[in-house]
């Protein structure tokens, strides 16, 4: 099957039940997408499929034929996406493990809802757990990215 990952056309002919996470990490060496739980409970593995935030640990390769996948590496190669810049400015990460999933969830939210309310931020970001509890900084960074005018990016 054919799919696109971070703008690069790919052909996959492996196990159709293999989770996207392992294809990204093991076969493509895109290790920014993290393994956290393997059951879609923590969100550390959040990526975009056709612009929507999904958990790569439970997304089988067979569901991706003809689709576009974006990982944290594809959000911005230079690390200058408004969400990435806001994360750095707000000093969000502590341990950092969930942060790629957090940023991918935030980017998907802001693309869909350029000026989210606190409730919309909380709902969208609730799919990604932060063991360090940096939720206030996460919300502030989402608001900063929204204020930067990234809407639709």
Q: How confident is the model over 66-113, as pLDDT tens digits?
A: 999 999 999 998 989 999 999 999 999 888 889 999 999 999 999 999
Residue 142, pLDDT > 50, answer yes
Q: What is the mean pLDDT of the chain?
A: 94
Model confidence band, residue 150 (pLDDT cutoffs 50, 70, 90): low
Looking at the structure, tell me whether residues 63 and 86 fall in a common domain: no
The predicted pLDDT at position 101 comes to: 97
- Percentage of the chain beyond pLDDT 90 is 90
Q: Is residue 25 part of a domain?
A: yes
| Lookup: tokens for 96 | 């950092």
**Residues 61, 34 share a domain:** yes
Give the pairing of strands 68-70 and 2-5: parallel
Question: Nearest to residue 48, comparing CAs of 39, 36, 56?
Answer: 56
Range of the domain at 101: 82-147
Distance CA 93, CA 56 (A): 21
Domain stop point among 47, 74, 101: 74
Q: What is the mean pLDDT of residues 128-140?
A: 93
Task: Output the pLDDT for position 152.
Answer: 47
User: What is the value of pTM for the model shown?
Assistant: 0.94
Find the CATH number of the domain harbouring 123. Answer: 1.10.150.120
Task: Report residue 43's pLDDT band, with 50, 70 and 90 as the boundaries.
Answer: very high
Total number of domains constituting the chain: 2
Q: Looking at the structure, tell me whether residues 11 and 35 fall in a common domain.
A: yes
CA angle 19, 24, 26 (to 5 degrees): 90
Examine the pLDDT at 124 and tell me if it is beyond 80: yes
Q: How far apart are CA 2 and CA 68, in angstroms?
A: 10
55 with 86, same domain?
Answer: no
Instruction: Taking residues 125-145, report their average pLDDT.
Output: 94
> Tell me, what's the pLDDT at 94?
87
Q: Tokens for 67?
A: 């689709």
Which one of 15, 43, 74 terminates a domain? Answer: 74
């Amino acid at each position: 099957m054919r799919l696109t990952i971070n703008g690069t056309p790919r052909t996959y002919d492996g196990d159709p039940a293999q989770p996207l996470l392992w294809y990204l990490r093991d076969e493509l060496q895109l290790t920014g997408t993290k393994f956290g739980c393997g059951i879609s409970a923590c969100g550390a593995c959040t990526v975009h499929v056709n612009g929507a935030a999904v958990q790569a640990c439970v997304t089988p390769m067979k569901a991706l034929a003809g689709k576009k996948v974006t990982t944290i590496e594809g959000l911005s190669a230079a690390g200058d996406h408004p969400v990435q810049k806001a994360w750095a400015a707000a000093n969000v990460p502590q341990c950092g493990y969930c942060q790629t999933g957090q940023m991918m969830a935030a980017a998907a939210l802001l693309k869909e809802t350029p000026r989210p309310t606190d409730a919309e931020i909380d709902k969208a970001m609730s799919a990604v757990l932060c063991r360090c509890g940096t939720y206030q900084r996460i919300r502030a960074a989402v608001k900063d990215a929204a204020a930067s005018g990234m809407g639709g990016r």
